[in-house]
Amino acid sequence: MTKSFDLLVFDWDGTLMDSAAHIVHSIQAAARDLDIDFPGQERARYIIGLGLVDALTFLFPSLPRADYPHLADRYRHHYLAGAQDLALFAGADAGIRSLHATGFSLAVATGKSRQGLDRSLTASGLSAFFHASRCADEGLPKPHPDMLMYLMKALGAEPRRTLMIGDTTHDLEMARNAGVPALAVGYGAHPRSSLEAHVPLACVMSFAELTEWVRQNA
């Protein structure tokens, strides 16, 4: 069967890695360290996938910008303290290996830093299966289309032959801004209702369902 897409671009946190709850915990713990009001679960989950400055501005609008580096340092401290316990979603390891073997070009577009993504790729054992990646500290963060534009140019893919796969509205907005179709995953950071409001091609509820959808439709 002829493929509809050449390039599959995955978000990382909440799409491949089951890390949303730990990110929320780390944000809240960092805020407590600085004795500032910390955001609730829904508000904290909303910023997953954004660049660091955009995330902090949204969560702590009254915090002086001069305090952002200290808050970011405390976030990293708490995140790294529990990072070794994070795992890929069930089916993600086998799914990525299978899609790679099928002949798709695979890439990652993430709000993580380059250092953070490289650490996660190595720990997960998936680094060899992705042909390219782009991080928030290497260009413009989501929902700006910069990440997708970079990856498509690097891998020689056209927008109509590229599929963005992510668990947040930031991923879907980035895809729309780049003229790229999107597949939503409803098991990550943002609720399914918010994702479906952006009219993705579909919204899957497990990585096994994601892999099967791609096999049938991509």
**Catalytic positions:** 11, 13
| Signed CA dihedral, 54, 174, 40, 123: sign only | negative
Hey, what are 25's tokens? 């915990």
Torsion sign (Cα): 10, 162, 140, 134:
positive
Phi, psi (rounded to 5 degrees) for 137: -90, 10
CA distance 181 to 161: 8
Q: Smallest Cα–Cα separation from 52: which of 121, 134, 122, 142? A: 142
